[in-house]
Amino acid sequence: MHNIENLKISSTNPCLIVYLVDQSYSMNEKFGNAPHNKAYEVADAINDIIYEVGLRCIGSNGDIKNRFEIAIIGYGKEANTVESGWEGSLSGKWVVSIKNIFEYPLGEKDGKPIWIKPYSNSNTPMTKAFENATRLCADWINWGNHADCHPPIVINISDGEATDAGSRFTPLKDQINQLKSLSTNFGNLNLLNIHISSSPEDKILFPDNGLATKN
């Protein structure tokens, strides 16, 4: 295993970021005290992050360097389906380089490009989403020189009510553990979960088991 502190993310050794986006009906509920719903907040946040990532990949000559590749996996837009969250010219694609992403925005909002729209429609097939993410990340790691790249970063954003979690959440947990077991030569895949809520309370960052259980 190589020391990740010695790794520089670059166009030669890019990093994969995967967003799992809950598009279920409950995402239509208000986001805390905000005037908009949770789906809207999530879409805003992801669009902002994509924009920020792109800006940080601009080289000295003005070109966007392919230091990051991004996948958006939406779940719950239609019944129990999982699908790519890219739309427009990127529709149906899974992993897209940051260079291509900036070439094909979906539109703009508040003067900045956007790539995804908010949806809050149906069930919450989160287990299936993690299963798709596992296969996608495994393929990415096995592609070209990606075993020598930063481990993929997977970020699940949900209000947390999976409809396919199974008995005692076992199938969901098993699938997540399978995803977390993937690795490159620089370590295991990084999985982050962002739980959003309608409750207007303070943020809880990196909760321990007690807090996670409490919530």
Partner 1 sequence: MLFQDGERRVNNYGENPKGISNISNQHATANANSSAYSAGKNNNSLGGYSGGYSGGHNNPSGNYSNSPDYHSNSRTTNSQENSEYKSGDLYN
Q: At what angle do helices 126-141 and 170-180 cross, to 10 degrees?
A: 20
Residue among 44, 35, 55 nearest 157 (CA): 44
Measured CA to CA in angstroms, residue 175 lies from 21, 114, 191 at distances of: 17, 31, 12
List the one residue out of 22, 18, 50, 40 whose CA is nearest residue 137. 18
Considering only 62-70, 157-165, 172-180, 196-204, which stretch makes contact with partner 1 by CB under 8 A?
Answer: 62-70
Say if residues 9 and 15 touch (Cβ distance below 8 Å).
yes
Could you say which of 30, 45, 104, 161 contacts partner 1 (CB under 8 A)?
Answer: 104
Of the candidate residues 48, 49, 109, 185, the single one contacting partner 1 (CB under 8 A): 109
Q: Does residue 87 bind partner 1 (CB under 8 A)?
A: yes
124 or 132, CB closer to partner 1?
A: 132
Shortest Cβ 158–partner 1 spacing (Å): 17
Part of the chain binding partner 1 (CB under 8 A), chosen from 9-17, 156-164, 165-173, 175-183: 9-17
Smallest distance, partner 1 to C-beta of residue 208, A: 33
d(CA 47, CA 26): 21
Residue of 21, 95, 126, 182 interacting with partner 1 (CB under 8 A): 95
CB 58 within 8 A of CB 195: no
User: What is the Cα–Cα distance from 105 to 47, expressed in whole angstroms?
Assistant: 10
Amino acid at 55: L
Binding region for partner 1 (CB under 8 A): 10-12, 28, 36-37, 39-40, 43, 55, 58-67, 69, 73, 77-79, 81-84, 87-95, 97, 99-100, 102-113, 117-121, 128, 132, 135-136, 139-140, 143-145
